[in-house]
């Protein structure tokens, strides 16, 4: 089983690149953002709880997202590998993911970390907010809160994977296709 983490701050292009990567490598895409938005759209109890956090630009509690990922892994026993997009976002999530993957004897091959300047992140998210209908994209204060959450809670997740030499930094600015090519070069070295 070949498992990858696509990592980076909000708006760094994780969702955009994931679509291209899953189609090229045949991996199962697990995006916690997408899973949460699905619950919100259906107005489930989990979705209603998550919405309170997401609307403020805060991370959703660990137990909620860990539970979602655990179920998604169980629901896909035949996957040839997973592309984790937007997960793990805290140290507790990283440890939980390791434990879940140990049970399947399927470690993470690499964490691909997209590097994008803060100005570019804000510009991209405000632009998406014009059309996406996402309440966390159309308010600059909320976008800035998401970036603060990233620096306070998420950036350290890369340190966790650095100790296992799993982190690969990728320049996340330029055209979508150029960034995709950079990602593929690194994946092909490890596949």
Q: Which one from 20, 56, 134, 144 is the annotated catalytic residue?
A: 134
- State the Cα–Cα distance between residues 18 and 109, nearest whole angstrom: 16
Residues of this chain, 93-112, that bind ligand B4P according to CB under 6 A: 93
Cβ proximity to ligand B4P: between 59 and 79 the closer is 59
- Catalytic site includes residue 134: yes
CB 166 within 8 A of CB 111: yes
Taking CB atoms, the residue at the shortest distance from ligand B4P is 33
Cβ proximity to ligand B4P: between 105 and 150 the closer is 150
Residues of this chain, 35-64, that bind ligand B4P according to CB under 6 A: 36, 53-54, 59-60
Candidate list 7, 39, 82, 146; residue touching ligand B4P; CB under 6 A: 146
CB 177 within 8 A of CB 183: no
Q: Output the CA torsion 70→75→79→82 (10° steps).
A: -30
Q: Which one from 89, 124, 166, 182 is the annotated catalytic residue?
A: 89
Beta bridge partners of 111: 5, 167
Candidate list 79, 112, 124, 187; residue touching ligand B4P; CB under 6 A: 124
Least separation in angstroms between CB 140 and ligand B4P? 14
Rg from Cα positions in the chain: 16
Q: Would you put residue 32 in left (φ > 0), alpha (ψ -120 to 50) or beta?
A: alpha
C-alpha 175 chain-centroid distance: 20
- Catalytic site includes residue 146: yes
Decide if residue 86 touches ligand B4P (CB under 6 A): yes
Handedness of CA 29, 34, 35, 41 (dihedral sign): negative
- Catalytic site includes residue 89: yes
Q: How many CB atoms lie within 10 A of CB 11?
A: 26
Cβ proximity to ligand B4P: between 31 and 110 the closer is 31
Catalytic residues: 14, 89, 128, 134, 146
Site residues (CB under 6 A) for ligand B4P? Answer: 8, 10-16, 32-33, 36, 53-54, 59-60, 65, 86-87, 89, 93, 124, 128, 136, 146, 176, 179
């Amino acid at each position: 089983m070949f498992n990858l983490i696509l990592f980076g701050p909000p708006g760094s292009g994780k969702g955009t690149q994931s679509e291209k990567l899953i189609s090229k490598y045949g991996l199962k895409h697990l995006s916690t953002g997408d899973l949460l938005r699905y619950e919100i759209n259906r107005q489930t109890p989990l979705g209603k709880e998550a919405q309170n956090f997401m609307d403020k630009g805060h991370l959703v509690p660990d137990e909620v997202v860990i539970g979602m990922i655990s179920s998604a892994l169980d629901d896909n026993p035949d996957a040839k590998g997973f592309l984790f997009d937007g997960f793990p976002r805290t140290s507790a999530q990283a440890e939980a993911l390791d434990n879940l993957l140990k049970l399947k004897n399927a470690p993470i091959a690499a964490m691909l970390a997209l590097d994008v300047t803060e100005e570019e992140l804000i510009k991209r998210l405000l632009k998406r907010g014009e059309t996406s209908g996402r309440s966390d994209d159309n308010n600059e204060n909320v976008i800035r809160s998401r970036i603060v959450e990233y620096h306070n809670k998420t950036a350290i997740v890369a340190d966790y994977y650095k100790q296992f030499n799993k982190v690969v930094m990728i320049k996340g600015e330029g055209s979508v296709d150029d960034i995709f090519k950079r990602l593929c070069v690194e994946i092909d070295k490890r596949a």
